[in-house]
Structure 1
Amino acid sequence: MKQFLVKVIASGVLGFAVLGISMAQGVTKTVKTDAIKIEGAYTRATAPGQQVAGGFMKIDNKGNTTDQLLSASSPAAGEVQLHEMTMDGNVMKMRQVKDIAVPAGGSVELKPGGYHLMFLNLKGPFAAGQTVPVKLKFAKAGELEVKLPVNEVGAQHSH
């Protein structure tokens, strides 16, 4: 009986340690590979029943060649598309793009009113304080997993 209790307590402690590590990783604000670095990633809280949300971040390319963000996916949405918003006269238009170029030695910002990720068919509301896992696929850097903190509606960047 004593050994059983020791195993149960040890399992619980280990479980909390793993949970703590997972939660700490969830709020990482910078993710990088040798060439690509993601900073300031975030999304915003959604209203109940809302089926779409935007994802924002800065992508730095420290490499010597241009890379392209080809796609994104998330278990929190049925689909994640790459989008761009532009002004056509006095009308703001949003359209899907096939990729987003990240210049060699430069960066691109995914932000409101410009390039962004568009989460479609949300599997549930995005609640402030949570994180949304996203897998980004680059032409050269490959796949990179990022956890976007969910900010209050109206927040402009990651806290």
Structure 2
Amino acid sequence: MSQVRTVAVAGALALTAGLALAGCSAGSASGSGSRAELEVEGAYVPQPVTDEVASGYLVVRNSGSAGDRLTSVTSDFSDDVTMHRTVGTTMREVNSFEIPAGGDLELERGGSHLMFMKLRHKPEKGEKVSLELHFARSEPIKLEVPVEATNYAPRK
């Protein structure tokens, strides 16, 4: 009698474990196909006019099937990097930028951009500065970004 009960309990446990694993793997499979595929292009920092503040611009392209968010940026030439959105004539600091699935995040003059405050040194045209972009879901992206002329305007 106890042998029958043991087999029944073992069978129930095996069935429960199998269903649980099937549920987990089904969720993982659908989750793994849905992710951001990020790459950065066109990054530059115009040579700052002062020793205290600089700006930064770039495009994050997402060819993936899920969105992500740029949550912070770190740099070798500033401990204080903030993200700003400009609407009309108003510039506001934001905590993150959305990067839509299959879309782009464009940080450009007159629009959303990065601000580097309390510069460790004033970078000169021709130099490169290191940036690391941090995202909500994706791995960080490290960049060596050229410092361009103060009035540099990339071609679109």
TM-score between the two structures when normalised by the length of structure 1? 0.72
Q: What's the CA shift for 1:126?
A: 1.5
Give, as a single letter, the amino acid of the residue that structure 2 aligns with 1:148. V
1:147 — aligned with what? 144
Give aligned pairs, total.
120
**Matched residue of 1:154: which SS?**
coil
CA distance in 2, matches of 1:143, 1:153: 28
2:51 — aligned with what? 50
2:61 — aligned with what? 60
Contact 1:41 1:157 survives alignment (8 Å): no
Alignment of 1:1-159 (within 5 A): 35-47=37-49, 49-87=50-88, 92-157=89-154
**Residues 53-76 of structure 1, C-alpha deviations (whole Å, 9 max, x = no match):** 111011100111110000001120
Contact 2:60 2:99 survives alignment (8 Å): yes
Contact 2:48 2:55 survives alignment (8 Å): no
CA distance in 2, matches of 1:74, 1:82: 13
CA distance in 2, matches of 1:109, 1:130: 23
Deviates more, 1:64-73 or 1:137-146: 137-146
Give, as a single letter, the amino acid of the residue that structure 1 aligns with 2:51. Q
Q: What's the CA shift for 1:43?
A: 0.6
CA distance in 2, matches of 1:53, 1:117: 8
**Residues 117-158 of structure 1, C-alpha deviations (whole Å, 9 max, x = no match):** 110101111100001100100111121101110001100138
Contact 1:45 1:151 survives alignment (8 Å): yes
Give, as a single letter, the amino acid of the residue that structure 1 aligns with 2:86. M
CA distance in 2, matches of 1:67, 1:152: 31
**Matched residue of 1:145: which SS?**
strand
TM-score between the two structures when normalised by the length of structure 2? 0.73
Q: For the pair shown, which has the larger CA radius of gyration, 1 or 2?
A: 2
Tell me, which stretches of 5 or more residues in structure 1 are unaligned? Answer: 1-33
CA distance in 1, matches of 2:45, 2:58: 9
Give, as a single letter, the amino acid of the residue that structure 2 aligns with 1:107. D
**Matched residue of 2:48: which SS?**
coil
Runs of 4 or more above 6 Å deviation: none
Contact 1:43 1:56 survives alignment (8 Å): yes
Contact 2:64 2:101 survives alignment (8 Å): yes
